[in-house]
Amino acid sequence: DARVTQTPRHKVTEMGQEVTMRCQPILGHNTVFWYRQTMMQGLELLAYFRNRAPLDDSGMPKDRFSAEMPDATLATLKIQPSEPRDSAVYFCASGSRETDTQYFGPGTRLTVL
Amino acid sequence: GENVEQHPSTLSVQEGDSAVIKCTYSDSASNYFPWYKQELGKRPQLIIDIRSNVGEKKDQRIAVTLNKTAKHFSLHITETQPEDSAVYFCAATYEGINDMRFGAGTRLTVKP
């Protein structure tokens, strides 16, 4: 049963520190999404990639957030510098045109003190 | 772009009763409508989906209906059980998975 994996599962850091979250999409999936979830905002799309190319990152604060796909098996989301308002659960999801749906990873729970 | 609205935001039912969650979408070109269930502390997981070429789909106790004319679709859960308690998200898309938009979620509580 193939699944999307994310690391770390939990991260506690202090304001101003750099945070890097990693995602391994399901093998064969060519589209990767990053979402942020808070109690008040539901699932907020930050960015997504197809075939490793960024297609839309309009939901992402550009001054501190960056997303990349160094290769087909790894997507990263980086926050530098982090702020307390970035505290949330960050989900990665992957999919393909054949499946039409998105499969979510377990999430990274980020707490910025 | 697509805009999806979901109602209600919270829903509480007695075990054994039915629950209905409704979503509306704005783009008439949308053709794929999945529903996700998210248990506390877990990832959202697909529970059922429907495409625009059918009006209803059923899987055991859950069913989804689609009204393309009115641009709304609904999730129906019958004979609810405490393990149905979760947050449910609807979504809509017309470009495959490129442009999926999620509703704000419905927190369902099933009281024993």
Q: For B1-47, what is each residue's pLDDT tens digit?
A: 788 999 999 999 999 999 999 999 999 889 999 999 999 989 999 99
Nearest CA in chain A to B88: A42
What sign does the dihedral A84-B10-B78-B72 (CA atoms) show?
A: negative
Report pLDDT digits (tens) over B45-98: 999 999 988 899 999 999 999 999 999 999 999 999 999 999 999 999 876 666
- Name the residue among A4, A9, A20, A8 with its Cα closest to residue A96: A4
| Closest Cα in chain B, distance from residue A63 (Å) | 24
Indicate the pLDDT class of residue A59, thresholds 50, 70 and 90. Answer: confident
Inter-residue contact A103 to A24 (CB < 8 Å): no
Is B3 in contact with A45 (CB distance < 8 Å)? Answer: no
A67, amino acid identity: A
Please list the alpha-helical segments (H only) found in A32-96: none
- Rounded CA-CA distance B86/A82 in Å is 30
CB contact under 8 A, A43 and B44: yes
Q: Say how many C-beta atoms besides its own lie within 10 A of residue B90's C-beta.
A: 27
Q: Is A85 helix (H, G, I), strand (E, B) or coil?
A: helix
Q: What is the mean pLDDT of chain A?
A: 92
Shortest CB distance from B43 goes to which of A31, A55, A107? A107
* Residue B96 Cα, gap to closest chain A Cα (Å): 5
Is B96's CB within 8 Å of A55's CB?
A: no
Paired strand residues for A5: A24
- Three-class SS of residue B68? coil
